[in-house]
């Protein structure tokens, strides 16, 4: 098993973790400072919910997204006012800004002139788009910015709806590849593609077909995934099915919830698949009839006490002695509880036994010491690394 860095600082050998599959080889492109494609870590995107024309509100939301770990942000451009706001937003945003264009090809040119890092177009929603592809390709190429061809089930090209009857995986893929071919005629291949559907099964199949038929980087998304709980599960299932086969180069979780929540979910999906180094990870048992402490409360208190810790640390919070000592020993730090006491483990060794009332503060104390030691040792935080299996 070989660990390879992906353009980021290398992790120490004991922190290199296995992944389920090597990335599907793709063309590479740059969205501003963020590389997208198989040579780069899978990136996390979100989309502003503010009116783009409200520059201050949009920049404020972009700042919040940046702080949460978002790497690329998209803004909607439905009106002239929004297009006019793009230069200020592109200039002041800390992360690359993608302009999302439907219906109006002239906004594509405005976004390119505004200095946006990329433009997303939806072939099904841009009238007379095909006539303008040559000019879009020429201008985007001159500015060095990529185009995302973003096909959505809800706005599939009418010709393909008529041919397939509904937004099947084949219809989504044909729409995307048809649009790509128009750009290719003008020698423009700085393209990434999305084929989104609200049904994870259709979506997964569409991306699998697409991955077989082109080498463009793919932007994964389950569109209109729903409120936070449902959308998180749909996205995790669909992204997991694709990313576990190496398919997917940048992701956007779509939730009917504040966009920062989308970023948190996206990051967690990547961490779960070892496509990003794990940060703080709480390994806590579900509790059962054998529990001798309130595991939920303990896990919540430890999680709250360690919130914001920026080093990779696995902390086990276990309710009894059945699996407790084993899990606690495997973690960087852990507690196995029982009989009103907690055995505290650090790096596999029991360092002390404390009364139940002192479990939380002892764990937090020891976690801070481990975090300081990791920082002193120069362990990179947030540095993606992938191992080939
Ligand atoms: S660790 Fe103990 S309390 Fe927790 S689920 Fe397992 S058996 Fe139950």
Say whether 247 sits in a helix, a strand or coil: coil
Q: Which two tokens stand for residue 85?
A: 């706001």
Residues pairing with 43 in the sheet = 250
Q: Is pLDDT at 154 greater than 90 in this prediction?
A: no
Helix or strand run (H / E) with residue 127? none
The C-alpha atoms of residue 322 and residue 295 are separated, in whole angstroms, by 14
Which alpha helices (DSSP H) does the chain contain, by range? Answer: 55-68, 80-92, 105-114, 129-143, 158-164, 169-184, 200-213, 228-243, 259-272, 295-305, 324-330, 359-376
**Closest atom of ligand 1 to CA, residue 323:** 1
**Closest atom of ligand 1 to CA, residue 327:** 1
The C-alpha atoms of residue 118 and residue 98 are separated, in whole angstroms, by 5
Distance 105 CA to ligand 1 centre (A): 59
Q: Which residue has the higher pLDDT, 134 or 263?
A: 263
Q: Which protein residues are within 6 Å of ligand 1, measured from CB?
A: 285-288, 290-291, 318-320, 322-324
Decide if 156 contacts 202 (C-beta within 8 A): no
- Chain position carrying tokens 């463009």: 216
pLDDT > 90 in the chain, percent: 71
Handedness of CA 246, 251, 256, 261 (dihedral sign): positive
Q: Which two tokens stand for residue 9?
A: 């600082």
Q: Is the backbone of residue 183 left (phi > 0), alpha (psi -120 to 50) or beta?
A: alpha
pLDDT of residue 34: 97
CA-nearest residue for atom 8, ligand 1, is 288
pLDDT of residue 16: 56
Long-range contacts formed by 164-169: CB under 8 A, 24+ apart: 167/197, 167/202, 168/202, 169/195, 169/197, 169/202, 169/205, 169/206, 169/208, 169/209
Per-residue pLDDT reduced to its tens digit, 34-59: 999 999 999 999 999 999 999 999 99
Distance 174 CA to ligand 1 centre (A): 50
> How far apart, in Å, are the Cα atoms of 242 and each of 24, 211, 277?
10, 10, 19
Q: Which of 26, 42, 22, 24 is nearest to 215 (CA)?
A: 26
The structure's pTM equals 0.86
**Closest atom of ligand 1 to CA, residue 321:** 2
In DSSP notation, 149-210 reads EEEEGGG--HHHHHHHSS--HHHHHHHHHHHHHHHHTTT---EEEEEEBSSHHHHHHHHHHH
Distance 376 CA to ligand 1 centre (A): 35
Per-residue pLDDT reduced to its tens digit, 77-88: 999 999 999 999
Distance 324 CA to ligand 1 centre (A): 7
Mean confidence (pLDDT) of the chain: 89
**For the ranges 154-168, 280-294, 369-383, which has the lowest average pLDDT?**
369-383
């Amino acid at each position: 098993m070989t660990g390879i860095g992906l353009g980021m600082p290398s992790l120490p050998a004991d922190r290199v973790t296995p992944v389920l599959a090597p990335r599907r080889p793709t063309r590479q492109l740059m969205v501003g400072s963020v590389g997208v494609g198989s040579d780069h870590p899978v990136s996390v995107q979100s989309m502003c919910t503010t009116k783009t024309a409200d520059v201050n509100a949009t920049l404020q939301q972009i700042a919040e997204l940046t702080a949460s770990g978002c790497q690329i942000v998209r803004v909607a451009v439905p009106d002239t006012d929004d297009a006019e706001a793009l230069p200020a937003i592109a200039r002041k945003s800390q992360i690359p800004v993608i302009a999302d264009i439907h219906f109006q090809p002239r906004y594509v040119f405005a976004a390119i002139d505004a200095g946006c890092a990329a433009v997303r177009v939806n072939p099904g929603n841009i009238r007379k788009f095909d006539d303008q592809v040559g000019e879009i390709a020429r201008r985007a190429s001159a500015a060095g910015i990529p185009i995302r061809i973003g096909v959505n089930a809800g706005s599939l090209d009418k010709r393909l709806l008529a041919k397939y009857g509904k937004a099947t995986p084949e219809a989504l893929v044909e729409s995307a590849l048809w649009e790509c071919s128009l750009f290719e005629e003008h020698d423009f291949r700085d393209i990434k593609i999305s084929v989104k559907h609200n049904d994870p099964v259709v979506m997964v199949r569409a991306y699998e077909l697409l991955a077989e038929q082109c080498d463009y980087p793919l932007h994964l998304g389950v569109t209109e995934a729903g409120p936070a709980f449902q959308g998180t599960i749909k996205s995790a299932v669909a992204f997991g099915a694709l990313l576990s086969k190496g398919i997917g180069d940048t992701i956007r979780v779509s939730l009917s919830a504040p966009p920062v929540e989308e970023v948190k979910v996206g990051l967690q999906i990547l961490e779960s698949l070892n496509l990003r180094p794990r940060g703080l990870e709480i390994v806590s048992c579900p509790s059962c009839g054998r529990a001798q402490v309130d595991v939920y409360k303990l896990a919540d208190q430890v999680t709250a006490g360690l919130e914001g810790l920026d080093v990779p640390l696995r902390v086990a919070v276990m309710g009894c002695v059945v699996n407790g000592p084993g899990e606690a020993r495997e973690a960087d730090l852990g507690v196995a509880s029982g009989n009103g006491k907690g055995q505290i483990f650090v790096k596999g060794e029991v360092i002390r036994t404390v009364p139940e009332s002192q479990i939380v503060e002892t764990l937090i104390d020891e976690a801070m010491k481990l975090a300081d030691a990791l920082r002193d040792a120069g362990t990179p935080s947030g540095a993606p690394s992938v191992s080939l299996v």
